[in-house]
Amino acid sequence: MPETAPAEAPETPNPGHEAKKAADNLRGILWMLASTLCLASMHTTISYVSDTVHPFVVVFCRLLFALIVVVPFFVKHGIAPLKTNRLGMLILRGVLNFCAMLAFFTALSLSPIADVTALSFSAPLFATLLAVIILKERLGWRRIAAIVAGFAGTLIVLRPGFEEISTGYFLVLTAAVFWGACVIIIKNLSRTESSVTITTYMSLVMAPLALVPALFVWSWPSTFDLMLLVLLGLLGGCGQLCVTQSLRYAETHVAMPFDFVRLVWVSITGYMLFGDVPDAFVWGGGALIFGSTAYITVREHQKRKRIAAEAAGDEVIR
């Protein structure tokens, strides 16, 4: 008869482990807050510099100067980050991410940054829908309700029939669809590839792609604009690094809800620099979108824990 007692025995609390877990979660939250400041500052810089520099050129410079942040990985690891058996998937992720960035940056040049940021929170909703369509994942009624609530929040921000759905709004939703596809690919890649490899190939694939459309509208930026372009590249690279660090320390469902602080930062900077004041529809719709994505994140975390616990139980029984 197989031994089952260890699987049924209650787990003994470990105060040291719990204290470390709490400390790591706090550290992850602080990294996520730092990422919101970096990314919100980048979005504000994009919105400002797009008055004098074409968005295609802005995208290229963002990717080019972000490579500065990747350099330390090569100094430390040599060419190891480039070794992979999944080059095709990495290139596909880069192409989709490039399309998303091109649409998003153009949206920032056309629409208020608070509105664009609020709508960008819908990316995980599209990721969930694409997972159902492409990966044949099944959804429970709770996640279906969360998706419906999230898209209701999108409609609140857009207010179709009451406000004109501008090109900027259409572009940010297009970017969210592409980002949703990227999320699925990254989840798949993370099973075999390191975060350094995924991040490195993103920059190496996207920068040459961004150069092509930039050449058709190229004009040399002024010294001041060039400084801003270098700044936004560094802010984008640092923001991605902060997100990676956040998720390295904290559990996803703990850290990700703090990403909503981005809307606070861009609302402040948008008002100070452009006089944009987000109305109640943007705040309410943005909160509903983000709340639904946060709930989906929590449900995904609970699902993974349950599967891991069942797998551990099966292993003990065997």
Q: Residue 2 above 60 pLDDT?
A: no
Q: 5 lies in a domain?
A: no
Q: 6 lies in a domain?
A: no
The predicted pLDDT at position 29 comes to 81
The predicted pLDDT at position 4 comes to 36
Structural domain harbouring 297: 17-317
pLDDT digits (tens, 9 = 90+) for 42-51: 988 988 898 8
Q: 253 lies in a domain?
A: yes
Q: 173 lies in a domain?
A: yes
Number of domains in the chain: 1
Answering whether pTM is above 0.75, one says no
pLDDT digits (tens, 9 = 90+) for 176-217: 899 888 878 877 787 787 777 777 788 888 889 999 999 999
User: Among residues 275, 250, 289, 274, which one has the least CA distance to residue 35?
Assistant: 250
Task: Estimate to the nearest angstrom the gap between the alpha carbon of 7 and the chain centroid.
Answer: 38
pLDDT digits (tens, 9 = 90+) for 222-263: 999 999 999 988 898 888 778 777 767 776 666 766 777 787
Region 130-134: mean pLDDT is 78
CB within 8 Å of 152: residues ≥ 6 apart: 288
251-270 per-residue burial string, b: 16 or more CB within 10 A, e: under 16: bebbbbbbbbebbebbbebb
pLDDT digits (tens, 9 = 90+) for 265-298: 888 777 777 677 677 777 787 788 778 777 777 7
Q: Residue 137 above 80 pLDDT?
A: no
Q: 275 lies in a domain?
A: yes
> Would residue 159 be called left, alpha or beta, if left means φ above 0 and alpha means ψ between -120 and 50 degrees?
left
Q: How far apart are CA 107 and CA 99, in angstroms?
A: 12
Q: 141 lies in a domain?
A: yes
Q: 11 lies in a domain?
A: no
**Range of weakest confidence among 88-92, 160-164, 188-192, 285-289:** 160-164
Q: 66 lies in a domain?
A: yes
Q: Residue 11 above 50 pLDDT?
A: no
Residue percentage of the chain with pLDDT more than 70? 83
On average, the pLDDT of the chain sits at 78
Please indicate whether residue 205 or residue 157 has the higher confidence score (pLDDT): 205
